Amino acid sequence: MIAGISMGKSFSGCLGYCLDDKQELTKEQKIKLSLKDGVQHANRAEILAYNQCFGDKNELAAQFNDVRKLSRRVEKPVLHLSMRLAPGEHLNKDQWLNIAEEIVKEMGVANNQYLVVQHRDTKEEHIHIVANRVGYDGKAASSSNNYYKMDKLCRRLEMKYQLQQVLSPRQFLPKEMRHLPRHDIRKEQMKKDIGQTLAKAKHYEDFAQRMQSLGYKIIKGRGITFIDEKKVMVKGSELGYSLMTIEKTLQLKQERNLKQDGIKPLIKKTVEHTLQEQRQLRQKLSDPTQEKATQQRTTPENIGGPISDQLKKGVADALHELTKAEHDGASVNPELINEAKLKKKKKHRLHL
């Protein structure tokens, strides 16, 4: 079993959430979803019990607010409790009512106003309890150790009704059990979605929009929190994606993309320039009428672009062949002269 606890100021808002259908869904959407999911999206709420109250949501809110006035010191008189079973588990109405009685007793509101509502719009059976922390005696139920109380109650109810046992939150476990690995399907899916979205996003706004399109809500402040469609709220740091990690990752991606965007045109331009030089050289070397122009404009020293040493040497040799006739065979390629001198020096050294 998984329990939920929250406190607030508005009875109207809490009662509206528990008693009304989801307002973001149209009538047609509710029908389609019901056919698809096999659950009840229209008229999803069924009131199982009233205690010290009655009527519709407006009448209930008025009655709760009348009693809350008995204590001016309580800023948050609304106590909203929920209890959810694991998928595939089932309890009948009487069992749910017994569980609700144990919950309100444990939370100290058994004699206060409250109502029990069951929702039927999910495959996991669950109930909601809206209670007034302020009693008719003007005293307010304590909020101390609420989470601890509900955790212990869940473990007892699991044993009593032979339900699937859930590992308690780490802070409620003995020290020797806090190191046990935990597996939360919902958190794992959230972590997977964040990682995949982060890999595709170009900047934070893009990341936020992509996450919202997947059904997540994001709360960004000093840190970042993600809320899925089932209202499960998880801090990014718990998933390994703190706000700092997300922003740093996106920043590095932007810097890398800028570098790539700057290098790609340069590489393209360099390759095109080199190929153009090579084509021009081949054309000039194959056309005897261009000998003088080639000699004047194209030498190994003034060839532009990143041409390899082998290509430069080949050009120099070709230019030498072209200029031989003009100088009556008296001219020799300077490159070859230098190379010959080096060989001669080496031989001379060997003889010595």
pLDDT for the residue numbered 83: 94
The whole-number mean pLDDT for each consecutive block of 10 residues of the chain, a chain of 352 residues, reads 91 95 85 86 93 95 96 94 91 96 96 96 93 96 90 92 75 57 71 92 92 91 86 84 91 79 63 72 65 50 48 49 42 48 53 50
Q: In angstroms, rounded to a whole number, what is the distance separating the alpha carbons of residues 242 and 222?
A: 10
pLDDT for the residue numbered 101: 97
Pairing of strands 224-227, 217-220: antiparallel
pLDDT for the residue numbered 32: 86
Mind listing the domains of the chain with CATH numbers? 2-177 (3.30.930), 183-280 (no CATH), 287-352 (no CATH)
* Sign, Cα dihedral of 15, 21, 22, 23: negative
The DSSP H or E segment spanning 246 is helix 243-285
Whether 167 and 57 have beta carbons less than 8 Å apart is answered as: no
Token code pair at residue 282: 């081949």
pLDDT for the residue numbered 330: 38
Q: In angstroms, rounded to a whole number, what is the distance separating the alpha carbons of residues 32 and 17?
A: 21
pLDDT for the residue numbered 283: 75
